[in-house]
Structures are given as C-alpha cells and as structure tokens.
Chain A
C-alpha cells in the first residue's frame, strides 16, 4: 500500500538526482572544457572582447606550432622533451614512492616499536613545510651532488616530497586488513617478509593504486621545485615549460591551452586506469559494490 504510493515519487526523485549531479559536475568542468576549446580555435578568436563563444572552425594550428610543423616558429617550445622528462620524472618517482611508502606504511600499521608515533609524526610534518623555506638550501644540496638540471635529481626530491602521503595512506590501508591473517601466517612458519609480500601486499593493491594517483599527479604537476632544480630542456617538465608561453612577448594563451591539453592527456589516462581501484582503495578495504 505504502510502497505503491512511494514508488513513482522515488523514481522521479532518482531521475532528478541523476540530472542534478550531472549538471553540477558539467558546470564544474566548464573551465576545463573552455581550455580544450581554446586549444583548437583559430588564433584570432582567442584574445578578443566581445568574445566569440562558438568557434567558427576548429584547427590544429596550435599543436602544429607546438610540434614544429610550421618551420617559421619551429622548436620555439621544445614540447617533446618536456613531455619525455615529465613522464620519466613522474613514473620514476611514483615507483620509488610506492615501494618505500608501502614498506613504511606496513611497518607503522603492524608493529609497535619505540618512537613509533614520533617517527610517524616527523614524516607527516615534513610534508607541511612550504617549498619557499627549502628552495635555496635544496639548490645548494643538489648542486653539491651534481643533481641540478637532471631528471633523476628531480625525481629524488619528488620521492621525499610525496612519501609522507603515501606512507600515511598505506598505513591506513594495512590497518584495515585483519592482523589475524598475519598471525596465522607466522604460525604456519612464514617469516615477516613473506607474510608482508604474500598476504598483505596483494590485499592492499587497491590502496596502492590510490597512493599511486596521488604521487603521480603530485609529481606530474609540481612547479616550484622543478623550476628550482631544472633549467634547460634536458630536465624541464611540463609545468615549468608553460612559462615559455609568457616570456618576453605577449602571452600565447592558445599555445598554453594546447600544451595543457597535452599535459592532461597522460594524467587522464592514468586516472582512468586506476580510478576504479582508487575508489575501492580509499574506502580502506571496506569494499562495497
């Protein structure tokens, strides 16, 4: 009786939810859409007032310019090397962060030892120090060890910067895996390492992918330290390269937008690949649906 009256109302409500959710998110994504649009516009439509809202035609000029298809402006912005550097830095640092972060997170979640909380706090707090405070001494340090303007130098710094979040996320994930599993393994004669490697790690994989997204996006998008440590196309990454569009002459918004599109593609691919398990991972093991 009651249910019959409620059902049509419920369905309507559900539809409204769906529509409202999509509308809000699409509005939220509009700035991004505008950037993508701009990348494909003809140059004379970009910086004008009043605006031309709908592009008269779409063109790949901006990308052609980026990749040096037009020889007049060839190699003005060495996008290829920026992309390659970004990919190398982000993957290298993400891999190391995941390995070390998982190890440390496991240690913090499973074992009690002296200084446990203190060390954990120290790791976390190291992240809350703003880059401004570190920049010059860090430069001296990198200089001393000849790591300035190198991809691995930058990756090394990113590892340190991204470790706290990974350690902390992994600590959370491992806490959700019942410790009884480990105890059972020890009784069966497994060593600590085997228990970690064989039992906990596979269960924590979704969590690892969440940590991976954070680490990857952070190093992919970082500017401050990259601008400090790199200086030439040998090691410059995308965010630093964006400045090439502003130097000296007018800001080339369209070129910048085109580069943004290139910059976002790998991030989107990476997130698409990992988002499912990321959602699962962020629920810290309490998997549902």
Chain B
C-alpha cells in the first residue's frame, strides 16, 4: 500500500507539475493580461497580485528540486543498485528502514558526520571572525578603497573546483608550493617533504584553509557594507564620552551589525555544500576515511559503488543538516528583523 503511494507520489508530482506548466503556457498565450487583470475584483487584487509574482519562481523550484528530492527520498528506502536497476528499484515495507539502520552502525558514516560538522563549525566561525576583523579594518582605510575591495574579492571569483585544484597543488608533497617555500626558507629538508593532505590533522586543516580562503571575502563584503552604513554620529558621541576602540566595537558596532552578521551567515549557510567540490578534489575523503564527509561518502557510494539507495540515505543526512542549519539562522534573522 505504502509502496504504491510513494511510487505514485514520485511520478505523480511530476505529472502535476508538467500539467501546470502547460496550463501556464496556455495562459501566457491568452494575452492580454490587462484584460484578465480587470476581471479580478478590486478587493481580491491585493492577494492575487503577489501570488502572480511568486508563481513562476515556485514552479521552477518545484520542477528542479522537488521531483528529484521526492525521488531521492523514495530511493533511500529501496536497495537501488544502478547495475541492477530493474531488480532493485522497488519498495518493500519490510526492508524500507534497512539503509538507515545500517547507517546507524556504520562507523564511517558517523565519522563523516562528525567531520562534516567539525569542518562546517570551524570554517564558518573562522570565516566570520576573519571577516569581521577585516571589515572593521577596511572600513577605516582612507585611500584606495576601490582597489582594496577588488583585491578582496579576487578569491570570491575562483570556482570551487579551481580552488580545490590549486590548493591540492599547493599542499602537494613533492612539487607543492608549501613544501617548496618551507624548503627555501630552510625549515624542511629537501628529501623529507611533509605529506600535508595525508597526515592526520593537517589534511582536515588544509581543506579548511582552502574553504576559508574562498569564503572570507563574501563575509567581509557584507559586513563591510553593514559597517559603512552605520551612522557616524554614534561614534562621534562615543568618542566624546571617551569610549575606546574596544568599547565602541562592543557597544555600538556589534549590536548594530547584528542583522548583517545574520545575513552573511545565512548566505554562507546556503552554500555549505559548495565545499564538496574542494573536498572531492583535494582528498575525496581519503586517505583511509580521514577527511571523509557526508558529501564525499555519498558521492562515492553513488558513483563508484552504484549503491544509489544507500547513497540517497546518506545524503538525506546532508539534507537534514543543511535544513537545520538554515532554519536556525533564518529564525535568528526573523527575530532580529522584528527588533529593528
């Protein structure tokens, strides 16, 4: 029964969406809009107008995200294996929790979950602190603001794939920039290079550095914009009162910047899975699962091992993590909006 429902659901959603798009297409052809709009009674217009503005966005997101997501959720309850598509793409109530039950006891999954959380916690926090410091510094700079901002934004323009390749190269043991620099500075023997991406803490740290390097500019730019928008009068008054830099920062800048901080963190949180490209290229979770994260584990499970059911179950953990992260920040954001 349930299997029938879920199966219907995953194909049904798309049928409905498809029909909806076609209906929208017909409406589009039934111009003029103005005439139709005139048919809407005055008192309903205020509710119908915003809906009309939102509908295309919602439809597109439904098409590209909802159907695949529904499919993934469905698949995560099946033992789907790509090489045995016909045989394994079916749902059975008795085994539906099997993938999830396995994950519960899967050491590598637990480790990848821990690594992911650690990675996100360290990178997002470091990016935030660095971004805040940099933005405070940049707000005080009196010459070359435009040039400064352009230099700042350079890392932002690098594709995550590119950042991955470049940092993999920098941290490469035999020809990497870091080892070469250390050798030139006399900190390392030529015949004793350090395998940064292999050793235990340094592998994770290297990944974090790459991710931080790429993301600090976004944080800084938003916080800088916020800092520049703060009223000067408050600082002048504080100066007259004899408040020092630290006091000003704590009592004026930080509270006033709060909405911008949340905006920056939310934008960042929406992009957490962009780190996947970096991690995949630099270590792909290895060696020996030392830098394994949810994305790499799910990705390898799906692409190399053909185990799509299991991979979907793993990526559900990623989905939940992403949603929780976003929800949390979003609530903070709404709260801060009410205050102001």
Contacts and interface: CB of A to CB of B under 8 A. Distances in A.
Contacts of A288: 228-229, 231
B216 interface: yes
A95 interface: no
Contact of A133 (B49, B69, B137, B159): B69
Interface in B283-319: 294-295, 298-299, 302, 308, 311-312, 315-316, 318-319
A178 interface: no
Interface stretch (A59-67, A68-76, A77-85, A260-268): A260-268
A263 B170 CA distance: 20
A4 to B, nearest CB: 16
Given A49-B180, A111-B50, A279-B224, A130 B277 contact: no
Which residue among B169, B213, B267, B294 has the maximum number of chain A CB atoms within 10 Å of its CB?
B169
B224 A192 contact: no
Given A129-B319, A157-B64, A275-B150, A50 B57 contact: no
A28 interface: yes
Output the residue of B67, B158, B311 with the most chain A CB within 10 A: B158
Q: Which of A137, A157, A161 gathers the greatest number of chain B CB atoms within 10 Å?
A: A137
Contacts of A122: 58, 61
B49 A192 contact: yes
B158 A283 contact: no
Given A22-B144, A25-B148, A271-B150, A121 B330 contact: yes
A26 interface: yes
Contacts of B159: 220-223, 238-239, 242, 263
Interface stretch (B22-30, B90-98, B160-168, B196-204): B160-168
Contacts of B190: 49-50
A203 to B, nearest CB: 16
A235 interface: no
Contact of A110 (B50, B149, B221, B299): B50
A135 interface: yes
Interface string A103-122: 11011101101100001011
Nearest to A142: B64
Q: Identify whether the interface residues of B are mostly helix, strand, loop, or mixed.
A: helix
Q: How large is the interface on A (under 10, 10 to 19, 20 to 34, 35 or more residues)?
A: 35 or more
Nearest to B270: A127
Contact of A134 (B45, B60, B69): B69
A129 B270 CA distance: 9
A275 B149 contact: yes
A248 interface: no
A100 interface: yes
B263 to A, nearest CB: 7
B174 A49 contact: yes
A18 B221 CA distance: 17
A22 B141 CA distance: 9
Contacts of B167: 31
Interface string B217-253: 0000110111011010000000000000000000000
Contacts of B144: 18, 22
Contacts of B221: 278-279, 282
A286 interface: yes
A91 B290 CA distance: 40
A121 B331 CA distance: 10
Contact of B154 (A32, A108, A133, A278): A32
B323 A31 contact: no
B54 A137 contact: no
Contacts of A100: 56-57, 60
B160 A128 contact: no
Given A29-B151, A51-B184, A113 B47 contact: yes
A129 B50 CA distance: 26
B54 A107 contact: yes
B16 interface: no
Nearest first, the 3 A-B pairs at minimum CB distance are A128-B322, A221-B159, A160-B64
Given A49-B175, A161-B64, 12 more contacts: A22-B141, A24-B137, A101-B57, A108-B50, A110-B50, A128-B319, A132-B318, A137-B71, A137-B75, A223-B160, A282-B221, A283-B226
Interface of A: 14, 17-18, 20-22, 24-26, 28-29, 31-32, 34-35, 47-51, 53, 100-101, 103-104, 106-108, 110-111, 113-114, 119, 121-138, 140-141, 156-157, 159-161, 163-165, 167-168, 172, 192-193, 214, 217, 220-224, 238-239, 242, 246, 253, 256, 260, 263-264, 267-268, 271-272, 275-276, 278-284, 286-289
